[in-house]
Structure 1
Amino acid sequence: MGRKKKVSMQDIADRLNISKNAVSLALLDKKGVSEEMRYRVLQTAKELGYGQFAERASSGRNVLILVPERIMGYQDNDHFRFFHDMIWGLEKSIRKRGLSAVIAPIDAEMEATLQLPQACKEISYIGIILFGIVEKAYARIVWELDTPLIMFDSYHRELPCPVVASANTEGAYEAVKMLIRSGHCRIGFIGPANLTTSHEERWLGYWSAMQESGLPLDMSKVMVYSAGFQDTEQEIEVYLNGIEEYPTAFFCGNDRIAYILARQLRKHGLMVPREISIVGFDDLQYEEGNELGMTTMRVEKEKMCEAAADMLLTLKSASREMLRQYIRPTLIARNSVLDMDRSNRYPLLE
């Protein structure tokens, strides 16, 4: 058997369709390449086993982190920062335990044609952490691998395995109960419960809080279906155009939806929180939020990453049991909620 070819910077450049000089700048942490490109070069170097990564790649002490490429792009900078923190939080947590993390992106074509990343074939690894926000069919091909697997952030119930996620139901329940304590009785919900378990669980938390408090569930004030995340703004616009009576508050499945809703309400001449209060989820730092100050449930990303790394190391084989570890989010109160009991203004109750 011939010797395995040594990986060069040109191999990395060819894989990414960039110049060898750009690869060199990224590896040496020099100016001249974007942070996104530097990130991609380092991950490709890990995947191919270049230089300092070669020994690690052959050691069998690797953990693969499979990430849908759409959450790593710059189309939505605020969501990029959120998931960037999660991805590198996992890398840090794994490294603290003496292992090496190899982050393998899943692009749209790979997801559609059910192709595993090359890293799954080219390096040895002790387990996989999969960001669960991929199509079920793709999650299944990862689930069917004979290796320890953790689904992270979201999951598919039909594919039982260990999961680490935010305590979405409990967090949503706490958020809605806060609105109720603030004097709100007509509370709406917007979140694509059909797209991810995260939004489904947040819808359940909303429903539980309303039911426990004896408040009516008015489905005309609820939007739980979406054709896709890219359609959110248009769908909210259509929904608001058709609503006959506005609630006094909305709980939204995430902060992105909450800020889109606030923007659309302004187009309808309604002010937040003077006329309608809003609570989001995730604690994303949107620029427009500097003025509004969105009340939200903060996802404890660092704790989730630590829990995922710990859980993976407890798995000695390819466990396919329904193990769940939920990390409770934290309520962050800002000024997007009007306390009705302390205000003399009830613009929507008159």
Structure 2
Amino acid sequence: MARKKKVSMQDIADRLNISKNAVSLALQDKRGVSEEMRYRILQTARELGYGAYAEKAAVGGNVLVLVPERIMGYQDNDHFRFYHDMIWGLEKSIRKRGLSAVIVPIAVEMEKGLQLPRHCEEIDYIGILLFGIAEKEYARIVWERDVPLVMIDSYHRELPCPVVATANIEGAYEAVAALIRSGHREIGFIGSANLTTSHEERWLGYWSAMRQHGLAVNARAVLTDSAGFYNTEREIAHFLNGLEAYPTAFFCGNDRIAYLLANELRTRGLGVPEEVSIIGFDDLQYEENGGLGMTTMRVEKERMCEAAAEMLLSLKGAPSREMLRMYIPPTLVVRGSVRRIKDWDWQ
């Protein structure tokens, strides 16, 4: 039987099309390569089975997964549907690497009182994964613990720590471009850009697509501010009341907003997509949608979980103070909520 070839640093360099010296610096945790390149080198070392890095997953240890309780409760069923998959996807990705995921809910009172869970003091752990929708000051005290930290899904720009998120700008751009290809020129936007970076980036992607294609953004057809999750339905109704005329299409910051908008339009006697087309984001399925299949951007949650686990391991026990970002592209899923306008042949 042929002997398996030993993986070398040159093999890693060849895979990434970089110098062997850059690989050596990253593997020795020395200066001279960016945090992003260091992550890619360490990830490739594991994939190829290079030396001790091939065995790292078998070392064992705990990873704390901190999750704001407000997104885990059944009373917040819309967020629960999305984050349930993410939470257990992270558990699977961490377990696959020979580690143990400790899922720690953060109660609202703890979050407001800036109180860390007892796990931070009572058990040993090699790093923390934190859902970035935690309040900024709470995320800050986690970041200041000086342990490896990766934020997931959303983040706070003031905290220079590693992040794995959806490519929101590019995904939103693709969604709006799909509406434009279908003949729509009057396209509105609804999303809570003031609350999360994900919706802020989706607003930017919408704006970029409109501008790139020479279309004017009607400020009256845009809703970017929200007082909070439980106000969304009322805010959409108030927003629609202020419109003199409806655009032919809307891009929404998530599927929950998209379905709430569709329901509100129906109560006003407007058909979706016959009179107003809608595209959402996340790819959540709702039983109460009246049979409407929502065209959406599917968040690739499994890939995000894998990337977050790998990124945390790549920190090698030392926290990163650089803005390392990894964006996972979403996928356009075409369903029945978009109507093609046949009298405009967009190229």
TM-score tier (shorter):
0.7 to 0.9
Residues 285-332 of structure 1, C-alpha deviations (whole Å, 9 max, x = no match): 111346000000000000000000000000020111100000000000
Match of 2:321 in 1: 320
The one-character-per-residue Cα deviations of 1:215-260 (angstroms, maximum 9, x if unpaired) are: 0011000000001111100000101111111100000000000000
Equivalent in the alignment of 1:294: 294
Deviations 1:255-289 (CA, angstroms, capped at 9, x unpaired):
00000000111111111000000000000011134
In the TM superposition, 1:158-307 aligns within 5 A as 158-289=158-289, 291-307=291-307
Work out whether 1:341 is the aligned partner of 2:342. yes
Q: Which structure would you say has the larger RCO, counting Cα contacts within 8 Å and 6 or more residues apart?
A: 2
Measured against aligned partners, the alpha-carbon deviations of 1:30-63 in whole angstroms (never above 9, x if no partner) come to: xxxxxxxxxxxxxxxxxxxxxxxxxxxxx97100
Instruction: Pick closer, same or farther for the CA change 1:310–1:290 going to 2, 3 Å.
Output: farther
- Give me the whole-angstrom Cα distance separating, in 1, the residues matched to 2:61 and 2:100: 6
* Contact in 1 for aligned 2:143/2:159 (Cα 8 Å): yes
Distance 1:202 1:321 in 2: 24
Task: Give, in whole Å, the separation in 1 of the partners of 2:212 and 2:230.
Answer: 34
Q: Counterpart amino acid of 1:335?
A: G
State the alpha-carbon separation in 1 of the partners of residues 100 and 70 from structure 2: 24
Q: Secondary structure at the match of 1:65?
A: strand
SS of 1:195's partner is coil
Q: Match for 2:91: what amino acid? A: E
Deviation at 1:168, TM superposition (A): 0.5
C-alpha deviation, 1:78, in angstroms: 3.9
The letter of the residue matching 1:319 is S
What residue identity is the alignment partner of 2:333? I
In 2, distance between residues paired with 1:292 and 1:216? 29
In the superposition, the TM-score normalised over structure 1's length comes to: 0.80
- Distance in 1 of aligned mates of 2:307 and 2:66: 17
- 2:291 is paired with a residue of what secondary structure? helix
Q: Deviations over 1:87-138 (max 9, x none)?
A: 0000000000000000110111001100001111110100000000011111
CA distance in 2, matches of 1:162, 1:129: 10
Are 1:330 and 2:331 counterparts?
A: yes
* 2:60–2:100 Cα contact (<8 Å) kept: no
Match of 2:16 in 1: none
Which segments of 5 or more consecutive residues in structure 2 lack a partner in the other structure?
A: 1-58
Say whether the 8 Å CA contact 1:67–1:130 is kept in structure 2. yes
For 1:266 and 1:277, how far apart are their aligned partners in 2? 12
Relative to structure 1, the CA distance from residue 93 to residue 290 in structure 2 (aligned partners, 3 Å threshold; closer, same or farther) is: farther
Q: Secondary structure at the match of 1:66?
A: strand
Q: Percent same amino acid at aligned positions? A: 74
Match of 1:239, SS?
Answer: helix
Structure-2 residue corresponding to 1:74? 74
Measure, in 1, the Cα distance between the counterparts of 2:137 and 2:328: 27
How many pairs are equivalent? 285
1:180-227 superposed Cα distances (whole Å, 9 cap, x missing partner): 000000000000100000000000000000000000011000000001
- Describe the SS at the equivalent of 1:336: coil
Distance 1:245 1:78 in 2: 30
Alpha-carbon displacement from aligned partner over 1:140-198 (angstroms, at most 9, x marks no partner): 00010110000000000000110000111000000000000000000000001000000
* Equivalent-residue separation in structure 2 for 1:127 and 1:135 (angstroms): 20
Q: Provide the rounded CA distance (Å) in 2 between the counterparts of 1:233 and 1:310.
A: 38
Where structure 1 has 5 or more consecutive residues not aligned to the other structure, the ranges are 1-58, 344-350
Contact 1:153–1:165, Cα closer than 8 Å, also in 2: yes
